Amino acid sequence: MPDHGAVDRSVSVPGVLRPSMSGKRRFAGRISVLAIILMGLSGCAEMQFLSEASKQVNGTVSRPPSDPNMPDLGSRYKIGNPYQVGGIWYYPKEDFTYAEEGIASWYGPGFDGKPTANGAIFYENRVSAAHRTLPIPSMVRVTNLENGRSIKVIINDRGPFAHSRIIDMSRRAAQLLGFERKGTTLVRVEMLEQESRQLVAMLNGAVSWQTTP
């Protein structure tokens, strides 16, 4: 079992925007926005997300039964206040120009089925990731600089907090990027502004806002 690093996922970061729920028209609009976002995730055959069967229950987007990869988005958009872990301060913020190179790790055992920092449920066999400061949810492109593989990933948790790592991938994301056995790898992480704004629009009920996928 590779060393994935100690990860504290109990950090509560305040400051959230809750989605509004008002009528069938708004509900349908949210689903159409989700469809656009999910189509953008189809970087390889294994990541073809089936959005037409997506459901919303109490504001939380759930994956269709035939979709083995889609992560739980939660029911709220979260930036949060500065917080401290292990004596280090972190400052969450919106940064649509964010790009960074560093070490990625992955997590799963011990966290599968548990809530993330914004109330979403983490599933190790779905494609997601944790970041220390980017909004939750947001979307990034992660490129494995050691083998050239690249995927789009939804951030739905906080972390990692060990060994100067910049992002913590789910087990499934690590498999797709080709570093599950190794445990860590050198990556480039780039914020995807359009897809991230679509996630915010969907969770906040701004269903009329759409762009080309």
Handedness of CA 145, 149, 150, 151 (dihedral sign): negative
Query: Average per-residue pLDDT in the chain?
Result: 74
- The tens digit of pLDDT for each residue in 42-100 reads 444 333 332 322 333 334 444 444 456 678 888 788 999 999 999 999 999 999 999 99
For the record, the structure tokens of 15 come out as 């400051």
**pLDDT top residue among 130 and 5:** 130
Q: DSSP label at 75? A: S
Number of helices followed by number of strands (H, E) in the chain: 3, 12
Give the CATH number of domain 17-203.
Answer: 2.40.40.10
Q: What is the pLDDT of residue 206?
A: 55
Buried b (16+ CB within 10 A) or exposed e, 161-195: bbeebbbbbbbbbbbbbebbeeebbebbbbbbeeb
pTM of the model: 0.70
Enumerate the domain spans of the chain. Answer: 17-203
User: How far, rounded to the nearest angstrom, does the alpha carbon of residue 30 sit from its chain's CA centroid?
Assistant: 18
